[in-house]
Amino acid sequence: MAKKKLNKNWLHDHINDPYVKAAQKDGYRARAAYKLKEIDEDEKLVKPGQVIVDLGCTPGSWAQYVRRKLAGKDGGGINGTMIGLDILPMEPIADVQFIQGDFREQEILEELGRVLQGRQVDLVLSDMAPNLSGIALSDAARMEDLIDIAIEFAQLHMKPGGALLVKCFKDMGFSQIVEKFRREFKTVVQKKPKASRDKSSEIFLLGRGLKNPVENKANPAQSALDI
C-alpha cells in the first residue's frame, strides 16, 4: 500500500512538474535538457564548431539541446559535430551521429575513431547513472565506476583544454569523486541546476583542462579503458 501511494505521489509531482511541462512544450524528450541548458548558460560550454560527445545519451534530450545550440538561428544543419553513445537504442535526432554499443569495447571505439577522423573532442557530457540496488556501498562503487569511465574517455579523446561534465550524487561516494576530479582537472566546479529536483542528491561536476591527457589519441585500441 505504501509503495502504491509513493508511486501515486511521484506521478502527481511528475505531471505537475514545470520542467516536464516545458519539455513537452519545447519538444525535448526529457526534462533533463534544462539541467544542461542552465549549466551551459552559466559556464558557456557549447560553442559553434565544437566536437561534442554525449556518453549514455539515450533518450537524447541533452543531444537535442546541443543540436539546437549548434544549429544557430538559420537551422538546416549544425556548425560542429555532435556524437551520442549508448548501450540502449535512441530514436534518431537530426545531425546527431549515434553509435549504439559499449564504448569500452574495441569495435565501438573503432567506430568512434572513424567518426572523429583524428579530431579531438572539445566537450564530453555524461548524464549516466547506475541502476540502483539500494545497497549504499554497492551503489557508490557503481557510480564511481561510471565516473572513472567518463574521465578515462576524456583523457583519451578530449583536447587538453576541453571540459567534462558528469552527473554525480551527494550520497554516492561524492567526496572521493571530487578528489578524483581535482587530481585530473585544472579547475573543478559543482553545479546544482534548478531543474534538478530539490529532493534529489543529484549534482553535476564540471572539470576543465586535463592534467594528464593520454598522448596516444590516434589509436583507440590503446585506450586506458582496455586495461
62 is in an annotated binding site: yes
Structure-block grid coordinates of residue 75: 537551422
Q: Is the CB of residue 31 less than 8 Å from the CB of residue 19?
A: yes
Q: Starting at the earlier edge strand, list the strands of the sheet with 202-210.
A: 96-100, 81-86, 51-55, 121-126, 158-169, 202-210, 185-191
Instruction: Give me the helix-helix angle, 136-157 and 174-184, nearest 10°.
Output: 10
139 is in an annotated binding site: no
86 is in an annotated binding site: yes
Q: Tell me how far CA of residue 66 lies from CA of 40, 41, 56, 58, in angstroms.
A: 10, 12, 15, 14
> Could you tell me whether strands 81-86 and 51-55 are parallel, antiparallel, or unpaired per DSSP bridges?
parallel
Task: Specify whether 8 is catalytic.
Answer: no
Catalytic residue among 69, 167, 180, 217: 167
148 is in an annotated binding site: no
102 is in an annotated binding site: yes
Residue 163: its H or E element? strand 158-169
DSSP letters along 201-215, please? -EEEEEEEEESS--S
Structure-block grid coordinates of residue 173: 561516494
Specify binding-site residues: 60, 62, 86, 102, 127
| Residues annotated as catalytic (active site), given as ranges | 167
Specify binding-site residues for S-adenosyl-L-methionine: 60, 62, 86, 102, 127
